[in-house]
């Protein structure tokens, strides 16, 4: 999987991808992540302007279409042959969930477009964007954190990225339910004992307990997921 990220703030990604699972996935050659500055595609060579006032007199600035078109076109050329999907991160997009993450993990390459200011010129959405995605019903200052969320969630599903120890199959949402509670040593912590069944060594009973707990927690916290299931 190749992620090509288009942003005005490339430095934001330095720490985010330099540790743990994503770092190992890159080292193993299972994913590759390119970060590109949209400012490099500004036609204003002197000031590298990327924003302008919105028509209609709204407050704030908007990302101009020309640098965005240039950055997306260059990304498509870089990824030619891998049929890249252009994803614009926006609060107005489809709400990201595990089903969409699974869908994206099937693709060969993703171009993740991070907006700033009041967003981007609509003509870029109309002519260049394949999918608009939101990470929640709140407004962030930019699409960088949403893009990081997409890279992280998708990378976890690439075959070979997770070992048995942190398998995605026991994560929340994998089977449409929230995850059951988890315990590690010591057996008693602050007076609370690990549920007896988990130390019984009885595999079938443990599985049954985990499933019951998953359903119980999902019913209590996210009944919408149960309905969907
Ligand atoms: N005016 C826009 C609106 O009301 O929908 C919000 C613009 S926001 C300040 C700037 C950029 O942050 C957006 O273009 C988008 O790329 C990103 N962004 C903010 N919140 C987001 C969210 N919940 N999901 C995905 N991207 C988001």
Domain positions in the chain:
2-156, 170-228
pLDDT surpassing 70 at residue 165:
no
The reply to whether 170-228 shares the fold of 2-156 is: no
Does 60 contact ligand 1 (Cβ within 6 A)? no
Q: How far is CA 45 from the centre of its chain?
A: 33
Nearest partner of 92 among 56, 136, 128, 146, judged by Cα:
136
pLDDT at 166: 58
Per-residue model confidence as pLDDT tens digits over 183-203? 999 999 999 999 999 999 999
| d(C-alpha 13, C-alpha 93), whole Å | 22
pLDDT, the chain, mean: 96
pLDDT at 12: 98
Q: Rounded to the nearest whole angstrom, what is the distance from the C-alpha of residue 54 to the centroid of ligand 1?
A: 16
Identify the residue whose C-alpha is closest to ligand 1 atom 9: 141
pTM of this structure = 0.96
Does 115 contact ligand 1 (Cβ within 6 A)? yes
Stretch 48-62: mean pLDDT? 96
Nearest partner of 3 among 69, 67, 86, judged by Cα:
86
pLDDT at 188: 98
CATH number of this structure's domain 2-156, picked from the four choices 3.40.50.1980, 3.40.50.150, 3.40.1280.10, 3.10.105.10? 3.40.1280.10
Nearest partner of 111 among 83, 141, 92, judged by Cα:
83
Atom from ligand 1 closest to the CA of residue 137: 23
Secondary-structure class of domain 170-228 per CATH = mainly alpha
pLDDT at 163: 86
pLDDT at 45: 86
pLDDT surpassing 80 at residue 167:
no
Q: Rounded to the nearest whole angstrom, what is the distance from the C-alpha of residue 150 to the centroid of ligand 1?
A: 15
Q: Rounded to the nearest whole angstrom, what is the distance from the C-alpha of residue 76 to the centroid of ligand 1?
A: 23
Q: Rounded to the nearest whole angstrom, what is the distance from the C-alpha of residue 92 to the centroid of ligand 1?
A: 8
Does 67 contact ligand 1 (Cβ within 6 A)? no
């Amino acid at each position: 999987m190749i992620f090509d990220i288009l942003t005005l703030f490339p430095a934001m990604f330095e720490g985010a991808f330099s540790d743990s699972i994503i770092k190992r996935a890159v080292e193993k050659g299972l994913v590759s992540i390119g970060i590109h500055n949209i400012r490099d595609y500004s036609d204003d060579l002197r000031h590298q302007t990327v924003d302008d006032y919105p028509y209609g007199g709204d407050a704030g600035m908007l990302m101009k279409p020309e640098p965005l078109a240039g950055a997306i076109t260059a990304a498509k050329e870089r990824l030619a042959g891998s049929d890249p999907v252009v994803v614009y991160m926006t609060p107005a997009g489809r709400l990201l969930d595990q089903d969409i993450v699974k869908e994206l993990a099937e693709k060969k390459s993703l171009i993740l477009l991070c907006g700033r200011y009041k967003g981007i010129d609509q003509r870029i959405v109309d002519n260049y964007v394949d999918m608009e995605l939101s990470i929640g019903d709140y407004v962030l200052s930019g699409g960088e954190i949403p893009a990081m969320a997409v890279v992280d969630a998708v990378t976890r599903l690439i075959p070979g990225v997770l070992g048995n120890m942190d398998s995605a199959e026991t994560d929340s949402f994998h089977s449409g339910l929230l995850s059951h509670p988890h315990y590690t040593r010591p057996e008693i912590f602050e007076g609370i004992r690990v549920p007896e069944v988990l130390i019984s060594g009885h595999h079938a009973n443990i599985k049954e307990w985990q499933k019951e707990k998953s359903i119980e927690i999902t019913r209590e916290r996210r009944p919408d997921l149960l309905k969907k299931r």
